[in-house]
Amino acid sequence: MRAARHRALSSGHGGDLSASNHEFQTDPVFYRASTYTPPSSVPEEKARSRKSFWEEAATTIAGACTNCLAPRQSEIREGHVKSSEDAHDVSTSSISRISSVSSTSTSQTKSWQDQFSFQEVCLATSNFSEQNKIGKGNFGTVYKAKLRDGSIIAVKRAKKNMFDRHLSAEFRSEIQILSKVEHLNLVKFLGHLEHQDERLILVEYISNGTLREHLDGSRGEPLEFSQRLNIAIDIAHAVAYLHGYTDNPIIHRDIKSSNILLTDQLRAKVSDFGFARLAPYDTEATHISTMVKGTVGYVDPDYLNTNHLTERSDVYSFGVLLVELITGRRPVERNRGRQQRLSTEWALRKCREGDVVVVMDPRMRRTSAAVAAVERVMALAAECAAPERAARPAMRRCAEVLWSVRRDFQQEQQRAAGAVAGAGAGTRRRDGSTATYGSSCMEQ
């Protein structure tokens, strides 16, 4: 049954991670590093009129964001929509199977207690000093730790009030999920430690902060469109892997810019699996029934209204993230005027009106190649945010479309550069010097 699910999800390309090298080379989603350029046979997105679709998508997103801002049954804390208890999560097909998966013993995961003690972690983090604090999330606080051998890791320290005699649902879920996955665009799990009332998750250290910090301008130089596109492809690869190439699908449930870490080379890594859920083993199951968790602005409106969680809920969040990458804005910006407060709705409306350039982050160069590529990325974002979840593309399809956008964007850049070089060569003066037209030609 599990093998059948692999075949269905892989669309004939082979879903087993033990696939041949040929499959890794020809499948952009299977290929774990996004540096490979797929063959030209990658399907092009179909050209079609999107006006009615843009309108429907924008209307739905507006309603969803309104519901998130004023939920009836869910509680919002620190920007998160979450329930106080998630113990009643069930599959529509088999309660017992999901229960057995959720209760998997954490002893099966790698425990670093065999390698060094809690006291050594305290030493590595300078007793969890403020100086080593690098982040804060749903689960607790993240610290930078320098080990005895000089290597650096990140330590996620749980909030102590989250525990009684047993691990919290978030802690149990995160170590369970992280121990099952391995992908270049996912933060690598190193192990976990438990000591009295302390609960720690140890993961690889990513030095360049979060995507949100870069979009806010608090880290590094402004991101160019090509860099944002590469980041989007990395994220698409990671989520496609979670949905299609693990033992059974994993739904992240909190895809957002602050959960995307960037390396010094601006490679993206998806982090924070505290809200993640394993989809059922039963291939006939269509969703998981669970209380709503997630972040305002990113939550699938269908999930919000029905409590039915599917892989397409992550696709919706990815669509919002694409808009965020293009605009640089957070999904909800309360300090803006009423028409622009809900960024996704505003951006989709502007694209529907033909004002694609207006939605582009002003820090990006508006070359003709970039504008054309942004149009296609925003069209994909609208598909991901489709009102009906069945109309949303699979993450594998999102990766293929973004590969196609990047290929065409790079080719157009090369043509433009060649045209400038040719024009420069044609203006050689009598003294042998060359007159150049400057960079303005590239901005037309």
Binding-site members for ATP are: 160
Helices (H), 78-168: 95-102, 118-124
- What DSSP designation does 332 have? B
State the Cα–Cα distance between residues 357 and 345, nearest whole angstrom.
16
Instruction: Quote the tokens at residue 78.
Output: 């620190």
318: nearest Cα among 404, 410, 215, 234: 234
Backbone angles phi, psi at 188, to 5 degrees: -80, 130
With helix as H, strand as E and coil as C, how does 43-100 read? CCCCCCCCHHHHHHHHHHHHHHHHHHHCCCCCEEECCEEECCCCCCCEECCCHHHHHH
- What DSSP designation does 378 have? H
Taking a C-beta distance cutoff of 8 angstroms, is the pair 153, 202 a contact?
yes
- What DSSP designation does 111 have? B
3-state helix, strand, coil in the chain (%, to 5): 45, 15, 40
Taking a C-beta distance cutoff of 8 angstroms, is the pair 70, 304 a contact?
no
295: nearest Cα among 308, 270, 314: 314
State the Cα–Cα distance between residues 343 and 341, nearest whole angstrom.
6
Taking a C-beta distance cutoff of 8 angstroms, is the pair 189, 203 a contact?
yes
State the Cα–Cα distance between residues 169 and 196, nearest whole angstrom.
18
423: nearest Cα among 439, 435, 440: 435
Catalytic residue numbers read 254
For 295-316, b/e burial (b = at least 16 CB within 10 A) is bbbbbbbbbbeebbbbbbbbbb
Q: What is the DSSP string of 289-310?
A: E----EETTTS-HHHHHH-EE-
Q: CA separation (Å) from 137 to 110, 272, 331? A: 23, 8, 18
Q: Which residues are annotated as a binding site?
A: 160
In the three-class reduction of DSSP (H, G, I as helix; E, B as strand; rest coil), residue 250 is classed as: strand
Burial of 184 (0-12, 13-18, 19+ CB in 10 A): middle
